């Protein structure tokens, strides 16, 4: 078979070769082992939570603990506040009850002399009744706000049961030999029943003092101490009342008179017991204060008696000084001993123990007890108010601290979570951008262009913090630089290999072209058929060698040197491709259309068909 260098048959085929590997353009091109699943994949599992969610979850536990502990603290302050407010109200109720009790005692004692003399419309009687009515109205107003307290409610109920009896006591006060038709059996009224009738009502008012305690310096016994001073005052008041009765109108019945004297002495003894209870329940300061006040009131009583004596002397009225106790040099004690002696009324009065002098001395002591009682109750109210104010301040302060602390914690955690979340998001975005865009694009440029013409500088991920996230970003930048360096070295190596292939191919092509030219000359000058056959075989072998040499150019990324500018018939393209196959004699061409192939595609098509035919005939 004769070959010509001017026909498409002379175009060498590209041979049986494997295309060169291309650079990876996406992470999917590189096989990666899937991560080993060692835990839950549910998005509700804590291991799959986002970083901000984890930070908030970590903060949630101490925040809840702080909220609970702060809530207990605030609740304790609020409870103390409520207890202090209740204690304050109880103290005010006890104050009102004390004033009511004071008015009842004064009513009984100050009205004794005029009522014993039958002067029911006396100014002292009307003033005492008015003072008691005013104290009652104030007490009724205060108890409307009585806090929920079983002890106070029970005492108030007992008092309300006895209070209506005051009307009957007033109607028959100090009236001897009168029987009440409302009683069954009838009860006689007189001086002693009058005194005891007032005690029945007034005693329940004193019992309110036992509910005191919170906010005072002596919590366990404060109410006991107030009750003791009230009891001492009540006992002194009974002495004042019974003494006045014995000095103004002693009972004509000897047994009744003796009963009055026994009661008079008993009340003095009761007063001593009450003072002993006060001393036991109070502090040293309380005892000192009692002594100071009672000494002052005793001096005031003596001063009033001195004024009365001076006034009597100026008026020319005889005035007998009251007796003085030889034991404690007390005028009140001297008059008490004179009344308790049981001497007739005239003898006692002639000795200087007159109703007026007795009222001066006994009332001074009574006022002293009331002053102590008033100070104690005011202290109880003030201390309860102070505790209430402190508890309210603590509740507000603790509540504000808890709220501010929780808000600050959540704001700080939110800021930190937001900052870390943003940093992680930038790190994630930068990593994916490098893995999916920048690195594949750079590798593709390196595979297509001279590495020296490609900008291989690595732009770092925009995270400049010094924490672990910043360190991960720097580590990823280092990985990015290393990948770019390896890609550039690979591209440079590939360029060098291509240059070697191109150089070798061009040299071989030059030698093969010379060999083909020589063989063609030999074929033209050879007449021996056998030798010509051998030359044809040698020519065909050289043609196949030229095709394989051009394959090196393909591997090196170069284009074959020869191209056709004019269209070439398809049948010539097929003949050129079959001529480059080893077993070309097995190929038959038939039914080929009269189409023409564009000149620029002829070389590539010849190589492609030659490879296909080579594969088919092998």
Written as six digits, the tokens of 392 are 């309210």
pLDDT of res. 137: 93
pLDDT digits (tens, 9 = 90+) for 373-389: 899 888 888 888 888 88
pLDDT of res. 131: 93
**Cα 60 from Cα 276, distance rounded (Å):** 60
| Spatial CA neighbour of 232 closest among 367, 130, 109, 402 | 367
pLDDT digits (tens, 9 = 90+) for 263-317: 888 888 898 999 999 898 888 998 899 999 988 888 888 888 777 777 766 666 6
Strand 178-180 vs strand 187-189: parallel, antiparallel, or unpaired?
Answer: antiparallel
Q: Are 439 and 484 in contact (CB under 8 A)?
A: yes
Is the sign of the CA dihedral 231, 132, 370, 296 positive or negative? Answer: negative
Q: Are 263 and 331 in contact (CB under 8 A)?
A: no
| Spatial CA neighbour of 386 closest among 216, 578, 529, 579 | 216
User: Which residues lie across from 178 on neighbouring strands?
Assistant: 189
Q: For residue 424, what pLDDT band results from cuts at 50, 70 and 90?
A: confident
Residue 310 CA to its chain's centroid (Å): 76
Q: What CA–CA distances, in Å, run from 52 to 59, 414, 419, 420?
A: 11, 8, 9, 7
Q: What is the DSSP string of 589-600?
A: --S----EE-HH
Range list of β-strands (E), 506-581: 568-569
**Cα 201 from Cα 164, distance rounded (Å):** 9
What is the domain partition of the chain in residue ranges? 8-27+476-617, 69-401
End-to-end CA distance of the chain: 21
Longest Cα–Cα distance of the chain, Å, equals 197
* E strand or H helix that includes residue 392: helix 355-433
Res. 349: pLDDT tops 70: yes
Other Cβ atoms closer than 10 A to 234: 25
Res. 31: pLDDT tops 50: yes
Written as six digits, the tokens of 538 are 């040698």
Q: What percent of the chain has pLDDT over 90?
A: 6
pLDDT of res. 178: 41
Written as six digits, the tokens of 381 are 């109210």
Res. 553: pLDDT tops 70: yes
Surface-to-core class of residue 198, CB atoms within 10 Å of its CB (0-12 exposed, 13-18 middle, 19+ buried): buried
pLDDT digits (tens, 9 = 90+) for 219-258: 457 788 888 998 999 999 888 888 888 888 887 778 888 8
- Tell me the helices (H) and strands (E) count for the chain, helix number first: 17, 4
**Cα 614 from Cα 188, distance rounded (Å):** 151
User: Which residues lie across from 189 on neighbouring strands?
Assistant: 178
DSSP-derived letter for residue 188 is E
HSE-CB at 292 with a 13 A cutoff on CA atoms is 8
Residue 26 or 310, more confident: 310
- Residue in the block written with tokens 């009687």: 125
Written as six digits, the tokens of 435 are 């893995």
What rounded mean pLDDT belongs to the chain?
79
User: Which residues lie across from 187 on neighbouring strands?
Assistant: 180
pLDDT digits (tens, 9 = 90+) for 425-438: 888 888 888 888 88
Is the sign of the CA dihedral 368, 369, 372, 378 positive or negative? Answer: negative
**Cα 564 from Cα 579, distance rounded (Å):** 18
**Cα 254 from Cα 26, distance rounded (Å):** 130
Q: Are 520 and 5 in contact (CB under 8 A)?
A: yes
């Amino acid at each position: 078979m004769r070959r010509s260098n001017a026909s498409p048959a002379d175009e060498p085929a590209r041979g049986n070769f494997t295309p060169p590997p291309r650079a990876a353009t996406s992470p999917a091109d590189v096989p990666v082992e899937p991560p080993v699943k060692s835990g839950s994949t549910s998005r509700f599992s804590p291991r799959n939570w986002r970083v901000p969610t984890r930070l908030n979850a970590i903060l949630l536990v101490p925040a809840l603990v702080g909220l609970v502990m702060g809530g207990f603290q605030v609740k304790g302050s609020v409870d103390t506040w409520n207890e202090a407010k209740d204690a304050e109200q109880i103290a005010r109720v006890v104050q009102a009850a004390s004033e009511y009790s004071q008015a009842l005692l004064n009513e009984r004692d100050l009205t004794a002399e005029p009522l014993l003399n039958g002067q029911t419309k006396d100014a002292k009687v009307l003033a005492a009744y008015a003072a008691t009515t005013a104290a009652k109205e104030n007490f009724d107003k205060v108890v409307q706000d009585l806090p929920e307290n079983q002890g106070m409610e029970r005492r108030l109920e007992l008092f309300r049961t006895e209070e209506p009896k005051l009307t009957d006591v007033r109607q028959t006060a100090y009236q001897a030999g009168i029987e009440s038709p409302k009683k069954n059996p009838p009860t006689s009224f007189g001086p002693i029943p009058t005194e005891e009738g007032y005690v029945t009502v007034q005693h329940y008012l004193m019992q309110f003092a036992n509910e005191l305690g919170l906010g005072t310096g002596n919590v366990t016994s404060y109410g006991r101490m107030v009750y003791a001073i009230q009891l001492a005052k009540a006992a002194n008041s009974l002495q004042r009342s019974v003494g006045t009765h014995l000095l103004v109108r002693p009972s004509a019945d000897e047994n009744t008179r003796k009963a009055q004297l026994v009661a008079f002495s008993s009340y003095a003894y009761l007063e001593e017991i009450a003072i002993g209870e006060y001393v036991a329940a109070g502090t040293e300061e309380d005892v000192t204060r009692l002594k100071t006040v009672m000494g002052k009131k005793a001096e005031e009583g003596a001063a009033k008696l001195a004024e009365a004596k001076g006034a009597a002397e100026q008026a020319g009225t005889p005035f007998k000084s009251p007796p003085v106790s030889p034991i404690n040099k007390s005028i009140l004690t001297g008059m008490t001993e004179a009344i308790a002696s049981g001497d007739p009324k005239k003898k006692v009065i002639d000795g200087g123990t007159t109703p007026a002098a007795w009222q001066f001395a006994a009332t001074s002591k009574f006022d002293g007890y009331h002053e102590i009682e008033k100070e104690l109750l005011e202290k109880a109210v003030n201390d309860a108010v102070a505790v209430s104010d402190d508890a309210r301040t603590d509740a507000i302060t603790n509540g504000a601290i808890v709220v501010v602390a929780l808000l600050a914690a959540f704001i700080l955690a939110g800021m930190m979570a937001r900052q870390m979340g943003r940093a992680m998001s930038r790190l994630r975005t930068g990593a994916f951008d490098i893995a999916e865009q920048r690195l594949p694009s750079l590798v593709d440029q390196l595979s297509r262009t001279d590495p020296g013409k490609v900008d291989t500088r690595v732009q770092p991920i925009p995270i400049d913090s010094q924490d672990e996230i910043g360190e991960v970003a720097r580590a990823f930048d280092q990985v990015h630089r290393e990948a770019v360096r390896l890609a550039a070295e690979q591209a440079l190596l590939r360029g060098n290999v291509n240059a070697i292939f191109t150089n070798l191919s061009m040299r071989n092509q030059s030698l093969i072209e010379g060999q083909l030219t020589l063989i063609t000359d030999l074929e033209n000058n050879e007449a021996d058929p056998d030798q010509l056959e051998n030359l044809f075989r040698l020519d065909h072998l050289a043609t196949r060698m030229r095709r394989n040499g051009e394959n090196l150019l393909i591997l090196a990324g170069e284009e074959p040197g020869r191209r056709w500018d004019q269209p070439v018939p398809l049948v010539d393209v097929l003949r050129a491709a079959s001529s480059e196959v080893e077993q070309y004699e097995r190929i038959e061409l038939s039914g080929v259309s009269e189409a023409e192939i564009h000149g620029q595609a002829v070389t590539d098509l010849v190589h492609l068909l030659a490879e296909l035919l080579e594969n088919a005939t092998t």
